[in-house]
Amino acid sequence: MKQNWKPGTMLNPLPAVLVSCGDARRSNLITVAWTGTICTQPPMLYISVRPERYSYDIIKEHMEFTVNLTTADMARATDWCGVKSGRDFDKWAETGLTPYDGHAVSCPSVAQSPLAIECRVREILPLGSHHMFIADVVNVLADDRFINPESGKFDLQKAGLLSYAHGAYYALGDYLGHFGFSIRKKK
């Protein structure tokens, strides 16, 4: 038997990412779990942010941001950036995270992040409590430490990515198989 619950945000787990925004003069970090891929060609993703958040106006002014994937080692800093405001704190200094110059955008990425996705906002969609920033991916910065030297592929499992579900953080678990493994012919 299943219980009927009122409608809610039950799609879990989600990535817990740090979104960096701004420029060399003023930048900030915001923790976001409302994010995801929305298109392959052209590559696009979204983040949803409450308009009252400090980073909202920064992103709206610059029309760009960087999605920084987080790791278990970054869990404390990721949580801190989600509960403290950039209006009151320099989140870079408070967390010990290091800004890394953007390549295709003016906002920095997080040096400790294994993968940073630089984005330009295409559209802002007001939805209610959150506004969705629909963005084109303009560059990806991948940390050499997580690139397999033989295949040249990024090793997400080695990176130890962080996820978020029902108010809690989790490190992603064991490798189960690759896309299409269920129909692959046995050798």
CATH number assigned to the domain comprising residue 129 = 2.30.110.10
181 falls within a domain: no
Residue 82 and residue 57 in contact, taking contact as beta carbons nearer than 8 Å? no
Cβ neighbours of residue 86 under 8 Å, at least 6 residues apart?
A: 28, 29, 30, 54, 55, 58
Q: What pLDDT is stored for residue 49 in this prediction?
A: 98
Asked if residue 154 belongs to a domain, the reply is yes
Q: Is the pLDDT of residue 103 over 90?
A: yes
Evaluate whether residue 6 is within a structural domain.
no
The pTM for the full model equals 0.94
CA distance linking residue 40 with residue 69, whole number of Å: 18
Which tens digits make up the pLDDT trace of 132-146? Answer: 999 999 999 999 999
What pLDDT does 81 receive?
A: 98
What pLDDT does 155 receive?
A: 87
Please determine, for residue 183, whether its predicted confidence score (pLDDT) is greater than 90.
no
Domain assignment present for residue 7? The answer is no
* Residue 124, SS3 per DSSP: strand
**187 pLDDT above the threshold of 80:** no
With tokens 């106006």, the residue in question is: 57
Place of tokens 């920033």: 133
Q: Which of 187, 48, 74 lies closest to 126, judged by CA?
A: 48
Q: What's residue 11's pLDDT? A: 87
Q: In this structure, are residues 37 and 25 in contact, taking their beta carbons and an 8 Å threshold?
A: no
Closest CA to 55 of 32, 81, 94, 28: 28
The pLDDT tens digits of the residues spanning 51-75 come to 999 999 999 999 999 999 999 999 9
pLDDT in tens, 5-21: 998 888 889 999 999 99
- Tell me which of 107 and 177 has the higher pLDDT: 107
Local confidence band at 158 (pLDDT 50, 70, 90 cut-offs): confident
Q: pLDDT value at position 86?
A: 96
- Report yes or no on 186 lying in a domain: no
Distance CA 97, CA 78 (A): 10
Give the count of domains, the chain: 1
The DSSP output letter for 52 is T
H or E segment to which residue 44 belongs: strand 44-49
Strands 168-171 and 162-165: antiparallel
Task: Please provide the distance, in angstroms rounded to a whole number, between the alpha carbons at the two ends of the chain.
Answer: 41
- Please check whether residue 54 lies inside any domain of the structure: yes
**For residue 128, what pLDDT band results from cuts at 50, 70 and 90?**
very high
Range of the domain at 22: 14-171
Question: 3-state class of 178 per DSSP?
Answer: coil
Position 5 in a domain: no
Would 128 be classed as within a structural domain?
Answer: yes
Question: Helices marked H in the chain — which ranges?
Answer: 54-62, 75-83, 91-95, 156-159
